[in-house]
Copies of this chain bind each other. A is one copy, B any other.
């Protein structure tokens, strides 16, 4: 119930704090017989790791994953896959500025209230470092789901928006720029904006969009566990996320039914896809696409008024190397969480019919 597990049949349980010895987890329920490409897993980790470009945090962490179990002769065995990423960056830091003070819009205060005390080194468990474990699990889920594609990309940074529908984009462009925006011109604008924000000692939010393609019909359950509901939970569980919409989304609420309905083709596909690939909580074989809103990183390199644990006013200034904008590094996390949801529902789907 402490919520460190995601997925029911294809699940991952994660552990680890930002400044502990290691982070990692256990992937349970992965079917036997999948020949795993370990390089592809590391490649997804590298897309998430710090220090990969000039517009993300300059911390250096190699984030190499070690697998302890569940693999034999290159294939999954059906038993749990234990893994760890050892922290190499554990030198003793000076935490005196945050030990007794509560950073604005961080979780310091709520941890103290909830647990009675907290691990004050970095963000502890609430650090986005935990998501590296999700990327490992998601990369394995992707391989289980070979054929289904997951393409996330940055569609806005602060006020700069990519307005094109995803169908007009070339996803292969995303990895060619540090922002991970598949439109090269918009990518340049976004990159310049992030550089400027960083100079100001500030941070900025953004939006990641994602398309899941080549899905079978029948993933998802009718009532509480609608496919898009679990996708929404998955995305909202990523650090800094403030909103989720799929298909026509918030804009769809303005439409009339006669405008919104998707007419069928004779093969059961639909001419339009305002439904976003899901009907009644169940995939209909069309593309699933959705948007995920990220708030700006709370750690700014500016002096801020705040309080300490005694309730006294103090002034605090951000230290260390932080991301000016989180969305470029969050792209593989969005894909990983999407893959974990789909993998789980693919296994559930096997149990629905006689």
Contacts and interface: CB of A to CB of B under 8 A. Distances in A.
Given A110-B284, A255-B296, A266-B311, A352 B31 contact: yes
Nearest to A102: B264
Contact of A353 (B78, B102, B247, B253): B78
Contacts of A79: 2, 4, 15, 17, 119, 124-125, 222
Interface residues of A toward B: which range?
35 or more
Nearest to A264: B307
Contacts of A107: 222, 279-282
A33 interface: yes
Which of A113, A243, A248, A304 is most buried by chain B, counting CB atoms within 10 A of its CB? A243
A228 interface: yes
Interface string A7-47: 01100011111001111111011011110000000000000
Contacts of A282: 107, 110-111, 114
B5 A254 contact: no
A246 interface: yes
A236 to B, nearest CB: 4
A87 to B, nearest CB: 9
A174 interface: no
A225 B162 CA distance: 31
A33 B116 contact: yes
Interface stretch (A49-57, A163-171, A201-209): A201-209
A98 interface: no
A268 interface: yes
B104 A84 contact: no
A147 interface: no
A243 B242 CA distance: 11
A320 interface: no
A321 interface: no
Contacts of A15: 26, 68-70, 79-82
B253 A295 contact: yes
Contact of A22 (B23, B82, B218, B233): B82
Contacts of A203: 256-258
